[in-house]
Copies of this chain bind each other. A is one copy, B any other.
Amino acid sequence: MAIVNSNMLVVKKFGGSSLASPDKIRRVASYLTEEKRRGKDVIVVVSAMGDTTNQLLGLARTVSQHPPKRELDMLLTAGERISMALLSMAISEMGCEAISFTGSQSGIVTDTSHTRARILDVKAFRVREELEKGKIVIVAGFQGVSPAKEVTTLGRGGSDTTCVALAAAFNARECDIFTDVDGVYTAHPGLVPEARRIPSISYDEMMELSFCGAEVLHSRSVEVAKRFGVKVNVRSTFGKELGTIVTRSEEIEAHDVTGITQDLNLVRIKLPSDKDASVKTQAVLAVLERAEVNVRFLHIPPAAAAGGSVSVMIPGDQKESALEHLERELPAGGFELDENLGMVSIVGQGICSRPGIAGRVLAALDSVGARPEMISTTGITMTMLLDKGEVVAAVRKLHTDLGLGEPA
């Protein structure tokens, strides 16, 4: 029996848009059988078909205001089950052997945080056995199993992380993430027509971009890729484009500024920046932790600044949960909600090390009349809060003025 050779192994992930119809599933099946016939061992990670996950969430909302997270995970994991079984059937129909595995069967062991579990271990012995038998192995992305045998999910985009974690477990040097865009762009092409595909980007830059709103890759997947040194190639499913390679900073052509991203789906919890600001902010953060609300960005102005505000930015879709807990646990109030702010982030290895970038950013904002509520720089990222109405113009102007539209 052949032993899986990591040189011959390919690990590929197909997102929901790549599997949205029986026709698309057949195209993916045909591509995979070709890979197999070229002598590759093939592991393929799949998301749920098209819009399935949102449809299931819609059903959940019709029966429950606050669906228990364990049951949400049970519900949503039906999605990959459908896509993986259909892909397996389509591959068999083309004359190759295939087998599909759930997260649990693939040995994706996670912690117990339903709806946003983290992978603790990959015990992929069943995947290995079937690869050794020559089968194309299809793995349900996004899902795992806790040590207590409970079904968990990894959060939106979690299939990327499944793919990278499997590549790491099999010592693969790289993996392919097939998606509906042909790579990572200097800005969202829908907002900035001159946005360019970035041929290569470092793990740290990609993590910052993902975290700050770019939806191309699950930020946790980049973390895992960095830790295990797996190169991630983000590619378009049905295109011939080269995509973007996410890899070690030593291996990329360095840019001062790599990309811009924005997040228009944030809510600010605003507290007065008075002498009790720190105590009050801590109280708010403690409530948010109990409510399991992510803090996307936190800004506390210098104690000396008069009239400033503490800003705790949370994802818009967690607003209700946050508000419910805050009103119950902090009945004295003392905070305001503000939905008028958007966040713009500039990511690049030169942000902190290269003089002059901050000045060019301020000049660009000025020239489109945008007045940042706050600017903060940490490591390779500069983040600013702007009125939502100013975000698009600011992103376009920054893209031009920072030279992102010019060929690298």
A contacts, CB < 8 Å to B: 22, 25-26, 29, 56, 59-60, 62-68, 70-72, 74-75, 77-79, 81-82, 84-90, 92-93, 98-100, 102, 105, 126, 149, 151
Contacting pair B93 A72 (CB below 8 A): no
Cross-chain contact of A68 among B81, B89, B126 (Cβ < 8 A): B89
Contacting pair A75 B86 (CB below 8 A): yes
Give Cα A87–Cα B71 distance, bound, in whole angstroms.
9
Measured CB to CB, the closest approach of chain B to A83, in angstroms, equals: 9
Can you give 14 A-B contacts (C-beta < 8 A)?
A: A25-B63, A60-B89, A63-B89, A64-B89, A66-B92, A66-B93, A70-B99, A71-B88, A71-B89, A74-B102, A75-B82, A78-B78, A81-B81, A102-B151
Contacting pair A64 B93 (CB below 8 A): yes
Given A63-B26, A88-B68: A74 and B56 interface contact (C-beta under 8 Å): no
Cross-chain contact of A74 among B64, B71, B84 (Cβ < 8 A): B84
Residues of B within 8 A of A26 (CB): 63
Contacting pair A63 B100 (CB below 8 A): no
Contacting pair A22 B59 (CB below 8 A): yes
Contacting pair A149 B65 (CB below 8 A): no
Contacting pair A81 B92 (CB below 8 A): no
Residues of B within 8 A of A98 (CB): 71
Give Cα A78–Cα B81 distance, bound, in whole angstroms.
6
Measured CB to CB, the closest approach of chain B to A204, in angstroms, equals: 38
Residues of B within 8 A of A151 (CB): 102
Which B residue's beta carbon lies closest to that of A58?
A: B22
Contacting pair A74 B88 (CB below 8 A): yes
Given A70-B99, A99-B70: A64 and B78 interface contact (C-beta under 8 Å): no
Give Cα A56–Cα B105 distance, bound, in whole angstroms.
22
Contacting pair A149 B60 (CB below 8 A): no
Given A82-B56, A86-B75: A63 and B99 interface contact (C-beta under 8 Å): no
Residue of A26, A63, A72 with most partner-chain B CB within 10 A: A63
Measured CB to CB, the closest approach of chain B to A366, in angstroms, equals: 51
Measured CB to CB, the closest approach of chain B to A2, in angstroms, equals: 22
Residues of B within 8 A of A78 (CB): 78-79, 81-82, 85
Residues of B within 8 A of A59 (CB): 22, 82, 86
Residues of B within 8 A of A87 (CB): 63
Residues of B within 8 A of A66 (CB): 92-93
Which B residue's beta carbon lies closest to that of A85?
A: B75
Residues of B within 8 A of A22 (CB): 59, 62-63
Residues of B within 8 A of A90 (CB): 63-64
Contacting pair B89 A81 (CB below 8 A): no
Residues of B within 8 A of A60 (CB): 85-86, 89
Residues of B within 8 A of A77 (CB): 81
Contacting pair B67 A89 (CB below 8 A): yes
Residues of B within 8 A of A149 (CB): 105, 126
Measured CB to CB, the closest approach of chain B to A161, in angstroms, equals: 22
Which B residue's beta carbon lies closest to that of A73?
A: B85
Residues of B within 8 A of A67 (CB): 89, 92
Contacting pair B99 A85 (CB below 8 A): no
Measured CB to CB, the closest approach of chain B to A236, in angstroms, equals: 22
Residues of B within 8 A of A126 (CB): 149
Give Cα A266–Cα B108 distance, bound, in whole angstroms.
45
**Sample of 9 further A-B pairs with CB below 8 A, known A68-B88, A72-B89:** A56-B82, A59-B86, A63-B89, A70-B99, A71-B88, A74-B85, A75-B81, A75-B86, A78-B78
Contacting pair A81 B86 (CB below 8 A): no
Cross-chain contact of A71 among B70, B85, B105 (Cβ < 8 A): B85
